[in-house]
């Protein structure tokens, strides 16, 4: 019998597990995929929003601003890439100027620090590549860029290190209320817990309906993006938003925390698993991006992707508690930003429900990972001397060493696929998109795991890379 079962290990489930791992509780996280951060958490704008978008007075507004403030110290402690580069919302006409004013007022009401409206000149000084017809912009220095999957992974790793259990490939199919709590039917058998936290992302409506009467509808909305090479990474200095319209926050152009440039997203209602991209939508995204940053060189695109957000008709997250069941549903943007604050809020809700929160004496919230490409010459010398595997570069584009790949195989949540290694080390994320390092990573994984290369998947278990051995000249 677990104390808490968390359904879903995206950033919300992982952050909740992280918070709960501070206490003497038996926590289990049930993730239907073979890794964490496999849904919305791995395919989004990767922005830590300042907090002026949400309607004043909503839970979303509060958790956004709180989550933003938490990101700095957390990323320090968890060794997660995060840069507080600030954001602007640029206005190009009368209508936009009105929007900027409204956002400013809303931001002030929400308690966003250091928010101000800056002139066209100041905007151009901040963003030399912004379109000439910029009128003014809303400047939010507290906005930032983050690595969303490493944020998720870091939360989950610390939770697991501190005793939480992660069950991967564990899909919840039914939930039954029992005397002591809940009994969850899964493909890995029955799992019982006193409390259940629903963090199932675009499936959180389905999970809700397993326990409670139907209460909300999710509207899965796809966002398509272009990711550009690092050669375009300095095209912008801040996150450049356009004024939000009917399509959500609109198309942004932003450096990523890894030094690339991201352009997107779009917003189309789709089926909840539909992460396909289309030519029409990407063309639209590119045209919109060029409106704000005309000089962006879209030929430097290295990848297109789409992520699905768990939108709803409500202007807030769908967070609520019914007895021992907590819904963390409808976590649309700025869910990534709000995640750590949502987790703290979830713990409060569980406390209301009567959970016993006794802090662990030996809780260890620290996480570190060796990142060769961020080291200086002296550190690199010392590292290779200590272990020559750090002297073998496997991913040329992002300068990732064999040593780092071996490291990630021995973390609390080791990868089970080539893309699992990618999310943990940055391999294959560069301009060659794994063309060079892919075969070498397959080779390393097969060697380390003692299996045939044919057994190594790209991502999900069914995503096989190799089919069979060649004829070997026979």
Give the residue numbers annotated as catalytic, written as ranges.
49
For residue 453, the minimal CB distance to another protein (Å) is 6
239-242 and 87-91 as β-strands: parallel, antiparallel, unpaired?
parallel
Q: What is the dihedral of CA 235, 303, 168, 46, to 10 degrees?
A: 20
Instruction: List Cα–Cα distances, 14 to 136, 150, 268, in angstroms.
Output: 39, 11, 27
189-198 and 2-7 as β-strands: parallel, antiparallel, unpaired?
parallel
Residue 173 half-sphere exposure toward CB, CA atoms < 13 A = 8
Taking residues 54 to 83 in sequence order and writing x for each that binds another protein by CB under 8 A, - otherwise, the string is ------------------------------
| Residue placing its CB nearer to another protein in the complex, 23 or 305 | 305
214, 368, 377, 450: which one binds another protein (CB under 8 A): 377
192, 389, 406, 409: which one binds another protein (CB under 8 A): 389
**Among residue numbers 195 through 234, which ones bind another protein (CB under 8 A)?**
226-227
Can residue 470 be called a binding residue for another protein (CB under 8 A)? Answer: yes
Question: Site for another protein (CB under 8 A): how many residues?
Answer: 57
275, 311, 337, 398: which one binds another protein (CB under 8 A): 275
Can residue 253 be called a binding residue for another protein (CB under 8 A)? Answer: no
Q: How far apart are CA 27 and CA 4, in angstroms?
A: 5
Can residue 399 be called a binding residue for another protein (CB under 8 A)? Answer: yes
Q: How far apart are CA 44 and CA 203, in angstroms?
A: 17
| Structural element, H or E, at residue 28 | strand 27-30
Can residue 183 be called a binding residue for another protein (CB under 8 A)? Answer: no
**Among residue numbers 401 through 460, which ones bind another protein (CB under 8 A)?**
401-402, 431-436, 438-439, 442-443, 453-454, 457-460
For residue 278, the minimal CB distance to another protein (Å) is 5
155, 305, 317, 325: which one binds another protein (CB under 8 A): 305
DSSP codes, 384-410: HHH-GGGG-EEETTTTEEHHHHHHHTT
- Across 100-248, where does the E strand assignment appear? 116-119, 136-140, 144-146, 165-167, 172-177, 182-186, 189-198, 218-228, 239-242
144-146 and 82-83 as β-strands: parallel, antiparallel, unpaired?
antiparallel
Q: How far apart are CA 132 and CA 72, in angstroms?
A: 33
50, 282, 338, 416: which one binds another protein (CB under 8 A): 282
| Residue placing its CB nearer to another protein in the complex, 301 or 409 | 301
246, 313, 368, 472: which one binds another protein (CB under 8 A): 472
Which residues here bind another protein, judged by CB under 8 A?
Answer: 226-227, 273, 275-279, 282, 299, 301-305, 377, 380-381, 384-385, 388-393, 396, 399, 401-402, 431-436, 438-439, 442-443, 453-454, 457-460, 462-472
């Amino acid at each position: 019998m677990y104390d808490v079962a968390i359904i879903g290990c995206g950033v919300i489930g992982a952050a909740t597990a992280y918070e709960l791992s501070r206490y003497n509780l038996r926590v289990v996280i049930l993730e239907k995929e073979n890794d964490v951060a496999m849904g919305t958490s791995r395919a989004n704008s990767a922005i830590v929003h300042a907090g002026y978008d949400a309607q004043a007075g909503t839970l979303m507004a509060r958790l956004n601003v709180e989550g933003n403030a938490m990101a700095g110290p957390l990323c320090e402690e968890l060794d997660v890439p995060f840069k507080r580069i600030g954001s602007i919302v640029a206005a190009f006409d009368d209508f936009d100027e009105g929007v900027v004013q409204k956002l400013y007022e809303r931001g002030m009401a929400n308690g966003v620090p250091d928010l101000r409206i800056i002139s066209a000149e100041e905007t151009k000084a901040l963003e030399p590549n912004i379109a000439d017809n910029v009128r003014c912009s809303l400047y939010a220095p507290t906005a930032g860029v983050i690595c969303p999957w490493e944020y998720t992974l870091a939360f989950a790793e610390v939770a697991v290190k501190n005793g939480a259990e992660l069950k991967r490939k564990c899909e919840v199919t039914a939930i039954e209320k029992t005397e002591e709590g809940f009994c969850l039917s899964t493909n890995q058998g029955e799992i019982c817990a006193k409390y259940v936290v629903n963090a199932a992302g675009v499936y959180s409506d389905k999970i809700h309906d397993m326990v409670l009467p139907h209460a909300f509808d999710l509207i899965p909305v796809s966002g398509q993006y272009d990711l550009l090479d690092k050669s375009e990474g300095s095209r912008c200095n801040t996150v450049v938003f356009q004024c939000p319209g009917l399509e959500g926050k609109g198309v942004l152009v932003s450096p990523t925390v890894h030094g690339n440039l991201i352009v997107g997203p779009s917003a189309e209602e789709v089926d909840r698993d539909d992460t396909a991209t289309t030519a029409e939508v990407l063309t639209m995204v590119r045209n919109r991006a060029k409106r704000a940053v005309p000089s962006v060189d879209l030929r430097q695109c290295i990848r297109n992707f789409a992520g699905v957000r768990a939108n709803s008709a409500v202007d807030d997250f769908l967070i609520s508690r019914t007895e021992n069941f907590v819904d963390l549903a409808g976590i649309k943007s700025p869910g990534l930003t709000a995640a750590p604050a949502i987790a703290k809020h979830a713990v409060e809700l569980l406390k209301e429900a009567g959970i016993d929160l006794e802090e662990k004496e030996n809780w260890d919230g620290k996480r570190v990972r060796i990142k060769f490409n961020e080291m200086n010459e002296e550190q690199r010398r010392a590292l290779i001397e200590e272990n020559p595997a750090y002297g073998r570069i496997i991913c040329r584009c992002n300068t990732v060493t064999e040593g780092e790949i071996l490291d990630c195989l021995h973390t609390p949540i080791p990868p089970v696929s080539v893309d699992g290694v990618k999310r943990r080390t940055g391999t294959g994320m560069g301009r060659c998109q794994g063309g060079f390092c892919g075969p070498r990573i397959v080779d390393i994984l097969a060697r380390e795991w003692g299996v045939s290369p044919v057994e190594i998947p790209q991502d999900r278990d069914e995503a096989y890379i190799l089919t069979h051995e060649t004829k070997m000249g026979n």
